[in-house]
Amino acid sequence: MLGFRKNKFRFVILIISIVLQLSILKAELFFKPFNVSYDHRALIIDGNRRMLISAGFHYPRATPEMWPDLIAKIKEGGADVVQSYAFWNGHEPVRGQYNFEGRYDIVKFVKLVGMSGLYFHLRIGPYVCAEWNFGGFPVWLRDIPGIEFRTDNKPFKEEMQRFVEKMVNLMRQELLFSWQGGPIILLQIENEYGNIESSYGQSGKDYAMWAASMAYGLGAGVPWVMCKQTDAPEYILDACNGYYCDGFKPNSYNKPTLWTEEWNGWYTSWGERVPHRPAEDIAFAVARFFQRGGSYQNYYMYFGGTNFGRTAGGPFYITSYDYDAPLDEYGLLSQPKWGHLKDLHAALKLCEPALVAVDDSPQYIKLGPKQEAHVYRTEIVCSAFLANIDEHNTASVRFLGRVYSLPPWSVSILPNCSDVAYNTAKVRTQISVKTQEFGSPSSYMTEPRILQVEEVVPTISKTWMTLEDPVGAWSENNFTVQGILEHLNVTKDTSDYLWLITRIQISEEEMSFLEANEDSFTPTLIIESMRDVVQIFLNGQFAGSAVGRWVRVVQPLHFVQGYNELAILSETVGLQNYGAFLEKDGAGFRGQIKLTGLKTEEIDLSTSLWTYQVGLKGEFMKVYSPDQHKFANWVHLSPDKLPSMLTWYKVLNFLLLMECFNQDSMLRILQK
Write the pLDDT tens digit of every residue in 503-533.
999 999 999 988 888 877 789 999 999 999 9
The DSSP secondary structure of 92-154, one letter per residue, reads: -SBTTB---SGGG-HHHHHHHHHHTT-EEEEEEES---TTBGGGG--GGGGGSTT--TTSS-H
Predicted local confidence at residue 172, as pLDDT: 98
Residue 371 inside a domain? The answer is: no
Based on the domain organization, do 57 and 134 belong to the same domain? yes
Count CB-CB contacts under 10 A for residue 452: 18
Predicted local confidence at residue 151, as pLDDT: 98
List the CATH number of the domain containing 551: 2.60.120.260
Based on the domain organization, do 156 and 240 belong to the same domain? yes
- For 444, half-sphere exposure in the C-beta direction (CA atoms, 13 angstrom radius) is 21
Predicted local confidence at residue 168, as pLDDT: 98
Strand order in the sheet with 465-468: 449-452, 664-671, 654-661, 646-651, 465-468, 635-636
Based on the domain organization, do 665 and 564 belong to the same domain? no
Mean pLDDT in runs of 10 for the chain (672 residues)? 46 43 48 97 98 98 98 98 98 98 98 98 98 98 98 98 98 98 98 98 98 98 98 98 98 98 95 95 98 98 97 94 98 97 98 96 97 97 98 98 98 98 95 59 40 41 80 96 97 96 94 85 94 96 95 96 97 96 96 92 93 96 85 83 82 59 42 36
- Contact between 215 and 208 under an 8 Å Cβ cutoff? The reply is no
- Contact between 596 and 602 under an 8 Å Cβ cutoff? The reply is yes
Residue 312 inside a domain? The answer is: yes
602 is catalytic: no
Tell whether the torsion through CA atoms of 377, 382, 383 and 389 is positive or negative: positive
- For 596, half-sphere exposure in the C-beta direction (CA atoms, 13 angstrom radius) is 9
Based on the domain organization, do 238 and 144 belong to the same domain? yes
Residue 647 inside a domain? The answer is: yes
Domain with 606 in it: 479-614
Nearest-angstrom CA–CA distance, 58 and 85: 7
Predicted local confidence at residue 658, as pLDDT: 55
Residue tagged active-site, from 159, 190, 192, 619: 192
Nearest-angstrom CA–CA distance, 622 and 134: 24
Residue 187 inside a domain? The answer is: yes
Residue 180 inside a domain? The answer is: yes
Based on the domain organization, do 228 and 339 belong to the same domain? yes
Instruction: Give the total number of structural domains in the chain.
Output: 3
DSSP code at position 314: B
Predicted local confidence at residue 664, as pLDDT: 42
Predicted local confidence at residue 600, as pLDDT: 78
3-state percent helix, strand, coil for the chain, nearest multiple of 5: 25, 30, 40
Count CB-CB contacts under 10 A for residue 620: 15
Predicted local confidence at residue 29, as pLDDT: 66
pLDDT per position as a tens digit, 129-186 = 999 999 999 999 999 999 999 999 999 999 999 999 999 999 999 999 999 999 999 9
Nearest-angstrom CA–CA distance, 223 and 285: 25
261 is catalytic: yes
Count CB-CB contacts under 10 A for residue 389: 18
Residue tagged active-site, from 148, 261, 329, 619: 261
Element (H, E) at 551: strand 541-556
Based on the domain organization, do 280 and 218 belong to the same domain? yes
Predicted local confidence at residue 452, as pLDDT: 42
Element (H, E) at 564: strand 562-571
Based on the domain organization, do 197 and 299 belong to the same domain? yes
